[in-house]
Chains A and B, each alone.
Chain A
Amino acid sequence: DAGITQSPRHKVTETGTPVTLRCHQTENHRYMYWYRQDPGHGLRLIHYSYGVKDTDKGEVSDGYSVSRSKTEDFLLTLESATSSQTSVYFCAISGVEDGETQYFGPGTRLLVL
């Protein structure tokens, strides 16, 4: 298995509070991604990173910010959590080879009350 961990694995929080999810990799891969998975929507890309301090928006970036200060860590922040952000969040990594597949972390289940 690719060395990807996510923390926390489960979180319950209240509307309006900030939340930060962490993705950590030991593979030294250049690209890192954050997705959310919701029933009926498949996986939707929130933000991705193509290097340290280099990030870009995905399909559903509103209400989320990211940071990547080190190759191995990619943080996703919900600035003010809302109930619509209740979801399962997956981090993924990939290398620089053309068409290289993504490797996914175990996921974080977030419930916003």
Chain B
Amino acid sequence: ELKVEQNPLFLSMQEGKNYTIYCNYSTTSDRLYWYRQDPGKSLESLFVLLSNGAVKQEGRLMASLDTKARLSTLHITAAVHDLSATYFCAVEDDKIIFGKGTRLHILP
């Protein structure tokens, strides 16, 4: 059974700092997705990672995938308040399984 674990589940950080969210999973999948959800809203696709070593960047966010370690990271550079949200990773095996989400609170 595919399991997807994110950590931390909650993160409070100051603007301008860097931090990383981790997504560990239990199968050999090479299909991993990152989503953002604002409070009371739907999910928005951020990144699609489809192979070992894949790296995608958009603004202050960068996602990477290491299929051998079964690990994806979402790195935040010089955080700004607008990045406050909940971030989910999801892994596709025969089905798509989501992590529990990381609630990110960036203090101005």
Contact = CB atoms under 8 A, between A and B. Distances in A.
Given A43-B88, A90-B42, A101 B97 contact: no
Interface stretch (B12-20, B67-75, B77-85, B98-106): B98-106
A43 B99 CA distance: 8
Interface residues of A, number: 23
B2 to A, nearest CB: 10
Most chain B beta-carbon neighbours within 10 Å: one of A35, A102, A105? A102
Given A99-B48, A101-B45, A104-B43, A45 B95 contact: yes
A42 B43 contact: no
B95 A58 contact: yes
B66 interface: no
Contacts of A33: 96
Most chain B beta-carbon neighbours within 10 Å: one of A33, A40, A101, A107? A101
Contacts of A64: none
A58 to B, nearest CB: 6
Interface in B15-45: 31, 33, 35, 41-45
B31 A99 contact: yes
A45 B91 CA distance: 12
Given A42-B88, A90-B42, A90-B43, A102 B96 contact: yes
Interface of B: 31, 33, 35, 41-45, 48, 50, 88, 90, 92, 95-101
22 contacts: A33-B96, A35-B98, A40-B100, A42-B98, A42-B100, A43-B43, A43-B88, A43-B98, A45-B97, A48-B95, A59-B95, A90-B43, A99-B50, A100-B48, A101-B45, A101-B48, A102-B33, A102-B45, A102-B96, A103-B45, A104-B35, A105-B42
